[in-house]
């Protein structure tokens, strides 16, 4: 009985959410609320230029106006929606392609595995932003081109990690037992490989989400992201750089929003890593 009580007492602290996970959920949740609200309500029409040019924060315009007289808070809310859409869609695309390629490499013959691994190494050697710029240059600047570009660029990283994790699992004894019992390849992947690599893969995808948001902002800043009137945070930063001394809020607001979202998803990834790694849980 004493041993049972000790086990329960020892396990209880491990179930408590880590502080970084809670902080990450708060940061990301705040941006998500802005994005969801923007679907149903905006303070002003995005194309409304009736406000004064470069006004400071006031009762009517919480963050002031830009150089065209548009409400900055409205633009910030639309930017939150774009950031979450691009981040979610590009990471989903990277996950589907990356997991498929990684599993193919893990289960393939050695020469196929070597060929895929070499190809992935070459792709990973190029920065994500550079690959995204190449894809956007071919497809043309648009929101969906940005999603496609970022997703394809990140899929190589996901594929590489999936291959490494899957090959590690394939050397376990329960895989040998499953094969001996007659379990087919789809069953091994679905019931043995994927459940064992999912925690680590989930942490990596959370980190990739933050990188995707930064990549989209960078593309928009360079004029290769979502074209006007889409109010991407990167485009807001680009438009505000000429007036940063006279109207600093135009650059500070989207910059802070970008930092909050990226920090939020990184904190979530750190919290998920604590739950996925028992040794880290014990150390805390």
Where does residue 276 rank: exposed (0-12), middle (13-18), buried (19+ CB within 10 A)? middle
Whose tokens are 């303070």? That residue is 43
Q: Residue 160: CB partners within 8 Å, gap ≥ 6?
A: 98, 102, 117, 120, 121, 124
Q: Check if the beta carbon of residue 237 is closer than 8 Å to that of residue 244.
A: no
Show the tokens assigned to 173: 């004894």
pLDDT band at 17 (very low <50, low <70, confident <90, very high): low
Residues 141-154 pLDDT 10s: 778 888 888 998 89
pLDDT value, residue 277: 60
In angstroms, the Cα distances linking 282 to 12, 196, 274, 278 are 11, 20, 9, 6
Strand, helix or coil for residue 239? helix
- pLDDT score at 16: 55
Residues 6+ apart with CB under 8 A from 249: 56, 57, 63, 64, 72
H or E, element range at 34:
helix 19-40
176/183 Cα distance (integer angstroms): 10
**Mean pLDDT score across all residues of the chain:** 83
CA distance 269 to 250: 30
SS3 59: coil
Kindly indicate the confidence band of residue 2, based on its pLDDT and cuts at 50, 70 and 90: very low
Phi and psi, residue 172, nearest 5°: -75, 155
pTM of the model: 0.84
Q: Structural domains in the chain?
A: 69-283 (1.10.3720.10)
Neighbours of 157 (CB within 10 A): 20
Predicted local distance difference test score (pLDDT) of residue 131 = 80
pLDDT at residue 5 above 80? no
Whether residue 15 has pLDDT greater than 60: no
Q: What is the pLDDT of residues 185-216, one digit of tens each?
A: 788 888 888 888 888 898 899 999 999 999 98
Whether the Cβ atoms of residue 15 and residue 274 lie closer than 8 Å to each other: no
Question: Which has the higher per-residue pLDDT, 6 or 103?
Answer: 103
Token pair recorded at residue 21: 């996970």
Nearest CA among 162, 142, 125, 46 for reference residue 89? 142
Mean pLDDT (whole number) for 117-134: 82
Residue 71 β-bridge partners: 65
């Amino acid at each position: 009985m004493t041993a049972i009580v000790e086990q329960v007492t020892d396990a209880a602290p491990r179930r408590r959410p880590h502080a970084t996970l809670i902080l990450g959920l708060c940061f990301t949740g705040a941006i998500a609320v802005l994005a969801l609200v923007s679907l149903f309500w905006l303070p002003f029409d995005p194309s409304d230029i009736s406000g004064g040019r470069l006004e400071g924060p006031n009762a009517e315009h919480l963050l002031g106006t830009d150089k065209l007289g548009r409400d900055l808070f409205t633009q910030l809310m639309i930017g939150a929606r774009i950031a979450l859409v691009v981040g979610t869609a590009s990471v989903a695309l990277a996950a589907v392609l990356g997991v498929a390629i990684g599993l193919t490499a893990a289960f393939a013959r050695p020469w196929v595995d070597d060929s895929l691994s070499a190809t992935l190494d070459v792709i990973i050697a190029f920065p994500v932003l550079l690959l995204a710029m190449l894809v956007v240059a071919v497809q043309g600047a648009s929101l969906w081109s940005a999603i496609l570009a970022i997703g394809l660029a990140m899929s190589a990283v996901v594929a590489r990690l999936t291959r490494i994790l899957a090959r590690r699992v394939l050397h376990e004894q329960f895989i040998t037992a499953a094969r001996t019992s007659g379990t087919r390849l789809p069953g091994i992947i679905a019931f043995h490989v994927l459940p064992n690599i999912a925690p680590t893969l989930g942490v990596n995808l959370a980190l990739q989400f933050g990188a995707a948001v930064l990549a989209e902002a960078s593309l928009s800043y360079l004029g290769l992201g979502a074209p006007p009137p889409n109010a991407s945070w990167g485009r807001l930063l680009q438009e505000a750089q000429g007036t940063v001394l006279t109207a600093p809020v135009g650059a500070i607001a989207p910059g802070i929003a970008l930092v909050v979202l990226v920090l939020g998803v990184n904190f979530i990834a750190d919290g998920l890593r604590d739950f996925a790694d028992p040794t880290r849980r014990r150390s805390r």
